[in-house]
Amino acid sequence: MTDVTLSSKNPTAVKAEALVVATAQTSDGVAVVSDQLPTDLLTQLESLAPQLGVTGARDEVRKIPAGPKLAAEILVLTGLGERAEDGTFAIETLRRAAGAATRELAGIKTAALALPASDDAEITAVTEGALLGAYAFNQYRSAGKSTAKESGKDPVGAIEILTPLHKNAKAKVAAERAEILAAAVHAARDLVNTAPNELYPATFADAAKAAAKDVRHVRVTVLDDKQLASGGYGGLTAVGQGSSRGPRLVKVAYTPAKPNGKVALVGKGITFDSGGISIKPAAGMEAMKSDMAGAAAVLSTVVAAAKLNLPVAVTGYLCLAENMPGGNAQRPADVITIYGGKTVEILNTDAEGRVVMADGLASAIEDGHDVVLDIATLTGAQMVALGTRTSAVMGTDAVRDEVKAAADASGELFWPMPLPDELKTNIKSKVADVANSGPRWGGMLNAGLFLQTFVGDHPWAHLDIAGPAFNEGGAHGYTPYGGTGVGVRTLLGFLEGRAKVS
């Protein structure tokens, strides 16, 4: 990962390949947001802005030669948009502008960021954004990691964040936390981007062991397909039986010495979702390699919590299976028994996520936790309701609101959704305790209500990240094409909140 340091160098004198400075939109044009650059340079940049195509808008990044006044070689202008009424910029705006800039720095070795960074919150935002934007997934390019090709460049090698607080202890802690968090998000993105012929339940379990190796107080245990079948995990067994690659349930447990409570995180890990016998249309099916993004977020979060020494116990449950239409695949009309004894009538084998999650949730509840969160690319209906950038959160009122607050603070977009009792008729089965699919309308809520069946009234929240987990469009802000790592920041923020209350 990109190396990051805090420094108090003057932006004019810093010897980096690139110097990044922010621009803003003002009532009479563009302002360069810096009180340390020479005034004649600022005046020149502001008056030439129209010719340079610089407007100061958010997500706008322009690179120009630095000129004789600066020690850097190029100057990178990243837009912050308009100032808020109090004259500041929102923290998420800073995060995005830093990320949009570092995304444009791929292929460059050294950069200095002279962005607003005069308190902990700003330093956190700039460091997080810069590192989140400095991501590339070039594993499958035959030319190797560093090619001259636009698409295959390595992320910027090292960044210096210019701040008057470079020696401040709290600022250093903030930067170190940002590094751990960004590494966690990158790891989740890598798993999502890995091709499904390489990442399947057994290799995902290996990846979990590798990620937890040498991390203090973390233990990984794996139940394989035989253990799942004999242990009564009927959901994972049924969904996994159509694939030649058997399912796994991976528990990643972080147990610090004196924990303030115990949290369970359950993640959907369908390493490829073909739909099974209720097969999906060919168009767009390739995106279903991302159907394990929930499990990836859970794994990354537990490891990050351990690296941050958070005083809260966390167990991640990775519900791993490949949903394939092989000769032994489950059929619509099958009735299966979830861990703990509840029965499910399978009406649609493409509603497989909730079936594997039911095993994970039942198991987490049995193990005894103060609160259970689950995260899954669960429904296409999530995207119909909220689009591809906003995730949904449902659950018991207090936990749902706690997740929403953690999301807001972390800069991830989540929106609360209801679980109306009267929709329960949608998932009634004529033969079993519950059916795995119902009418199209309210599809995201039907899935949430299905999960609720296995949670009862235990404190719980369900995060549906179907759209935001995988960016099929162009990169924006600190978000790359492909796996986004969504959920890690919200889950980690939630755990940090729990760690504080004893």
Any idea which residues carry the catalytic annotation? 280, 354
Q: Closest CB to Zn ion among 81 and 353?
A: 353
Judged by CB under 5 A, the residue of 273, 345, 402, 412 near Mn ion is: 273
Judge whether 60 and 78 are in contact, CB under 8 Å. Answer: yes
**Whole-angstrom distance, CA of residue 240 vs CA of residue 399:** 31
Record the tokens describing residue 454, joined without a space.
Answer: 């296995």
Q: Does 464 bind Zn ion (CB under 5 A)?
A: no
Judge whether 138 and 145 are in contact, CB under 8 Å. Answer: yes
- Site of interaction with ligand BES (CB under 6 A): 273, 291, 348, 350-353, 377, 379-381, 437, 443, 466
247 binds, among ligand BES, Mn ion, Zn ion, none (CB under 5 to 8 A by kind): none
46 binds, among ligand BES, Mn ion, Zn ion, none (CB under 5 to 8 A by kind): none
Residues 187-216 that bind Mn ion (CB under 5 A): none
Those residues with Cβ within 8 angstroms of residue 500's Cβ, 6 or more apart along the chain or in another chain: 260
Q: Which residue's C-beta sits nearest to ligand BES?
A: 380
437 binds, among Mn ion, Zn ion, ligand BES, none (CB under 5 to 8 A by kind): ligand BES
The alpha-helical segments, DSSP class H, found in 308-396 are 353-367, 380-386
Distances (CA, A) of 302 to 80, 202, 254: 33, 19, 7
Exposure string of 197-228, with b = 16+ CB inside 10 Å and e = fewer, is: eebbbbbbbebbeebbeebeebebebbebeeb
Q: Closest CB to ligand BES among 220 and 270?
A: 270
Segment interacting with Mn ion (CB under 5 A) among 22-30, 90-98, 101-109, 269-277? 269-277
Q: Closest CB to Zn ion among 235 and 353?
A: 353
User: To the nearest whole angstrom, how small is the minimum distance from the Cβ of residue 290 to ligand BES?
Assistant: 7
User: To the nearest whole angstrom, how small is the minimum distance from the Cβ of residue 451 to ligand BES?
Assistant: 13
Q: Does 322 bind Zn ion (CB under 5 A)?
A: no
Judged by CB under 5 A, the residue of 81, 256, 353, 477 near Zn ion is: 353
Strand partners, 201: none
Q: Does 412 bind Zn ion (CB under 5 A)?
A: no
Q: Does 350 bind Mn ion (CB under 5 A)?
A: yes
Judge whether 339 and 229 are in contact, CB under 8 Å. Answer: no
User: To the nearest whole angstrom, how small is the minimum distance from the Cβ of residue 420 to ligand BES?
Assistant: 17
User: To the nearest whole angstrom, how small is the minimum distance from the Cβ of residue 126 to ligand BES?
Assistant: 32
Angle between helices 443-452 and 353-367 (to 10 degrees): 30
Those residues with Cβ within 8 angstroms of residue 217's Cβ, 6 or more apart along the chain or in another chain: 254, 255, 256, 257, 306
Number of residues forming the site for Zn ion (CB under 5 A): 4
- Give the 3-state secondary structure of 429-483: CCCCCEECCCCCCCHHHHHHHHHHCCCCCCCEEEEECCCCCEECCCCECCECCEE
Pairing of strands 262-273, 158-162: unpaired
**Whole-angstrom distance, CA of residue 302 vs CA of residue 71:** 42
Q: Which residue's C-beta sits nearest to Mn ion?
A: 350
Residue 221 sits at φ, ψ, to 5 deg, of -125, 145
Q: How many CB atoms are closer than 10 A to CB 160?
A: 22
Q: Does 345 bind Zn ion (CB under 5 A)?
A: no
Segment interacting with Mn ion (CB under 5 A) among 65-73, 344-352, 414-422, 464-472? 344-352
Judged by CB under 5 A, the residue of 225, 291, 412, 464 near Zn ion is: 291
Judged by CB under 5 A, the residue of 273, 359, 412, 464 near Zn ion is: 273
Segment interacting with Mn ion (CB under 5 A) among 143-151, 238-246, 348-356, 421-429? 348-356
Please name the helix (run of DSSP H) or strand (run of DSSP E) that holds residue 415, with its range, or none: strand 414-416
Q: Which residue's C-beta sits nearest to Zn ion?
A: 273
Q: Closest CB to Mn ion among 131 and 465?
A: 465
User: To the nearest whole angstrom, how small is the minimum distance from the Cβ of residue 278 to Mn ion?
Assistant: 8
User: To the nearest whole angstrom, how small is the minimum distance from the Cβ of residue 273 to Zn ion?
Assistant: 4
The alpha-helical segments, DSSP class H, found in 84-168 are 91-103, 120-133
User: To the nearest whole angstrom, how small is the minimum distance from the Cβ of residue 459 to Zn ion?
Assistant: 26
Judge whether 436 and 351 are in contact, CB under 8 Å. Answer: yes
97 binds, among Mn ion, Zn ion, ligand BES, none (CB under 5 to 8 A by kind): none
Q: Closest CB to ligand BES among 78 and 237?
A: 237
User: To the nearest whole angstrom, how small is the minimum distance from the Cβ of residue 378 to Mn ion?
Assistant: 9
Q: Closest CB to ligand BES among 134 and 292?
A: 292
Record the tokens describing residue 219, joined without a space.
Answer: 């233990």
**Whole-angstrom distance, CA of residue 493 vs CA of residue 66:** 39
443 binds, among ligand BES, Mn ion, Zn ion, none (CB under 5 to 8 A by kind): ligand BES
Q: Does 374 bind Zn ion (CB under 5 A)?
A: no
Using a CB cutoff of 8 Å and minimum separation of 24, what contacts does 58-65 make? Answer: 58/93, 58/96, 58/97, 59/96, 59/100, 59/476, 59/477, 60/23, 60/100, 61/100, 61/101, 61/103, 61/104, 63/18, 63/104
Q: Does 133 bind Zn ion (CB under 5 A)?
A: no
For binding to Mn ion (CB under 5 A), which residues are involved? 273, 350
